[in-house]
């Protein structure tokens, strides 16, 4: 993980109200998980905190000045993800950061449920 340890500590402090955070690797940065396997956020290698979003929350993020995490695939196409940058004022305000994190919980939990269901279907096909 190429994430600044001081920034990671700051993010942990900002999101402490969510409970324990688990780290994983993602795009040379760090994925942040709550509730064991619910990926709620990502810290990019450049030091931007991105929160999970979906069609129900994207407008609120955009209205607050957030931008999506975008990367270029090996074939040259740009891929826009469901991760939106944490609004700038929230980086210095734990109460506001927690608001955005709680807004991200719904999309994060839904994505996790879909991922679990896909894994179960795949395992059932292999077993059957």
Partners of 29 in beta bridges: 26
d(CA 4, CA 93) in angstroms, rounded, equals 19
Cα angle 3, 69, 73 (rounded to 5 degrees) comes to 95
pLDDT beyond 60 at 1: no
Judge contact between 44 and 81, C-beta under 8 A: no
pLDDT beyond 70 at 113: yes
Partners of 42 in beta bridges: 31, 50
d(CA 107, CA 99) in angstroms, rounded, equals 14
Task: Specify whether domain 5-127 bears CATH 3.30.2130.30.
Answer: no
pLDDT beyond 90 at 79: no
Most confident of 18-27, 69-78, 94-103: 94-103
Judge contact between 69 and 83, C-beta under 8 A: yes
Q: What is the pLDDT of residues 17-43, one digit of tens each?
A: 999 999 998 878 899 999 989 999 999
Instruction: Return the exposure string of 11-47: e unless at least 16 CB atoms fall within 10 Å of the residue's CB, then b.
Output: beebbeebeebeeeebbebbbbbbeeebbbbbbbeee
Amino acid 27: pLDDT: 76
- Which pTM was predicted? 0.88
- Domain ranges in the chain are 5-127
């Amino acid at each position: 993980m190429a994430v600044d340890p001081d920034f990671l500590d700051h993010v942990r402090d900002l999101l402490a109200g969510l409970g324990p955070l688990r780290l994983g690797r993602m795009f040379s940065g760090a994925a942040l998980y709550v509730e064991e396997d619910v990926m709620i956020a990502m810290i990019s290698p450049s030091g931007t905190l991105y929160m999970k979003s979906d069609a129900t929350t994207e407008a609120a993020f955009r209205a607050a000045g957030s931008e999506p995490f975008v990367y270029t695939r090996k074939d040259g196409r740009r891929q826009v993800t469901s991760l939106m940058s944490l609004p700038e004022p929230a980086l210095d305000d734990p109460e506001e950061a927690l608001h955005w994190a709680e807004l991200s919980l719904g999309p994060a939990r839904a994505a996790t449920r879909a991922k679990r269901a896909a894994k179960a279907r795949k395992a059932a096909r292999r077993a059957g």
